[in-house]
Amino acid sequence: MSEHKNWYLICYDIREPKRWRKAYKLLKGYGDTLQYSIIRCRLTMRDREKLRWELEKILEPEDSLLIVGLCNSCLERICLCNRPEAWSIQDTGFRIL
């Protein structure tokens, strides 16, 4: 039983550059940028809630944020409909550099 993790797609629109940079930096600590302002993360519930809290401290009411949780069949479909590099997964638990 490893702690349950899910994939999330996080998209945002932040109206002010300073806040944008802050949020961007934070999100890069949790996952990988797929495209400008679209980040994908694999998170436990705990990390997801932590991230939501940390983002809430940065964002203002005029900013928007969308966190999309993906189930396994969503993931399969993403891989199916896209070019292979759109969603590559490295999940060995270790890396040797």
Partner 1 sequence: MLQTLNRPALEQETLRVSALHALVYCPRLFYLEEVEELYTQDAAVFAGRRLHAELAKANDEDWDELTLESPELGLRGKVDALRTRDGQIIPYEHKRGRCYRGNNRQPQAWESDRIQILAYALLIEAVLGVPVSEGRIRYHADNVLVHVPLNAEGRQAVHNAIHQARQLRQSPQRPPVTDNERLCVRCSLAPVCLPEESRLAHNPDYPALRLFPRDDDREVLHILEAGTYVGKTGEQLKISRQNQPDEKFPARQIGQIVLHSFSQISTQAMHFCADQQIGLHFISGGGRYIGSFDTRQGSIQRRIQQYKALSNPEVCLNLAKKLVACRGQSQRKYLMRGQRGMAEIPPPLTAAIDQMQRLLKQVDLAPTIDSLLGLEGNLAACYFGALSHLLGEDTPPELRFTGRNRRPPHDRFNTLLGFGYALLLKDVINAILVVGLEPALGFYHQPRTQAPPLALDLMEIFRVPLVDMPIVASINRQQWDVDADFEVHKTHIWLSDSGKRKFIELYEKRKQETWKHPATNYSLTYRRILELEVRLLEKEWSGEAGLFGQLVLR
Interface ranges with partner 1 (CB under 8 A): 1-3, 5, 25-26, 28-32, 41-42, 44-50, 52-53, 56-57, 61, 92-97
Q: Identify which of residues 63 and 78 has a Cβ nearer to partner 1 in the complex.
A: 63
Minimum Å distance from CB 39 to partner 1? Answer: 9
Q: Identify which of residues 35 and 92 has a Cβ nearer to partner 1 in the complex.
A: 92
CA–CA separation, 7 and 11 (whole Å): 13
Q: Identify which of residues 13 and 77 has a Cβ nearer to partner 1 in the complex.
A: 13
Minimum Å distance from CB 93 to partner 1? Answer: 6
| Structure tokens that stand for 36 in this block | 């400008």
Burial state string for 66-96 with b = 16 or more CB within 10 A and e = fewer than 16? ebeebeeeeeeeeeeeeeeeebeeeeeeeee
Minimum Å distance from CB 32 to partner 1? Answer: 7
**Cβ neighbours of residue 55 under 8 Å, at least 6 residues apart?**
23, 26, 27, 65
Minimum Å distance from CB 77 to partner 1? Answer: 24
